[in-house]
Amino acid sequence: MPKLEFWYDFASSYSYLAAMRIDALAEAAGVDIAYRPFLLGPIFKAQGLTTSPFVANPAKGNYMARDIARISALRGMAFHVPEPFPAHSLAAARIGMVAEEEGWISPFTRAVFATEFADRADIAAPETLTRIVSQLGHDPARVMARTGVDEVKSALRARTEAAASKGIFGAPTFITEDGELFWGDDRLEDALAWATGTCKRPA
């Protein structure tokens, strides 16, 4: 089965749109999704930004909120810009690294995004993350202990460095096995079509 990598930051609003539909679309297309949580912060910092482009550029931020509200309405989803925005996503990303290794990254990712953008809870709060992990049937104490070890911290750093070296500049980004990058929830269908070889290649 062809593979597609799904690179995202838990604070990314357009990644929320992609996360809530990628498994269903991938299953229909016959594609295996590899979840790749990473941190956008160091990527934006290398671009000379100290925060999200949606905060640095208020016109773009206003547009993002409206654009996602429109798309969410079409898809029958809730959407609110969380407070604060962007959320501090480091703790969720470290749990994501553990969840990826242990095989529960897909439901964890949807739970975090729904909590953040539909329920508008702060995903940086330990009690929020503890509740999510617990509801997925995992022992929060064990999982939280794992996120504090150097191995997990450095795996997330390496993941984020890998994102930069692959040419990722925003999220969500989808990468095919032959290295093709697709940026944005609105390119998910194209990425799946490329992965399955049903998309016309440029010369």
Q: Of 27-35, 53-61, 127-135, 136-144, which segment contacts a second copy by CB under 8 A?
A: 53-61
Q: Which amino acid is at 197?
A: G
User: Min. distance of Cβ 27 from a second copy in angstroms?
Assistant: 24
Least Cβ distance, residue 73 to a second copy (angstroms): 4
Residue from the set 67, 125, 138, 155 that interacts with a second copy by CB under 8 A: 67
34 sits in which H/E element: strand 32-37
Stretch that binds a second copy, among 13-21, 102-110, 135-143, 193-201 (CB under 8 A): 193-201
What's the Cα-to-Cα distance from 88 to each of 28, 48, 189, rounded to whole Å?
33, 19, 29
Tell me which DSSP letter residue 30 carries: T
Which residues lie across from 174 on neighbouring strands? 6, 182
> Could you tell me the CA-to-CA distances from 109 to 20, 45, 124, 150, 158 in Å, in that order?
9, 24, 14, 22, 20
Interface with a second copy by CB under 8 A: which range of 5-13, 14-22, 123-131, 164-172? 164-172
Percentage helix, strand, coil for the chain under 3-state DSSP, each rounded to 5:
55, 10, 35
Cβ proximity to a second copy, 49 vs 136, nearer residue: 49
Provide the 3-class DSSP secondary structure of residue 37: strand
Out of 45, 66, 142, 157, which residue is the one contacting a second copy (CB under 8 A)? Answer: 66
Number of residues that bind a second copy (CB under 8 A): 29
Site for a second copy in 96-125 (CB under 8 A): none
Amino acid at 134: S
**Tokens 């979840």, residue?**
35
Q: Taking the complex as a whole, how short is the minimal distance between the CB of residue 60 and a second copy, in angstroms?
A: 5
> Closer CB to a second copy, residue 5 or residue 190?
190
Is residue 172 near a second copy by the rule CB under 8 A?
A: no
- Which of 24, 148, 150, 201 touches a second copy (CB under 8 A)? 201
- Interface residue with a second copy among 60, 120, 142, 157 (CB under 8 A) is 60
Contact 195, 28 (CB under 8 A): no
Which token pair is 45? 């910092």
Q: Minimum distance from CB of 201 to a second copy (Å)?
A: 7
Residue 170 C-beta: closest distance to a second copy, Å: 8
Distance CA 80, CA 85 (A): 10
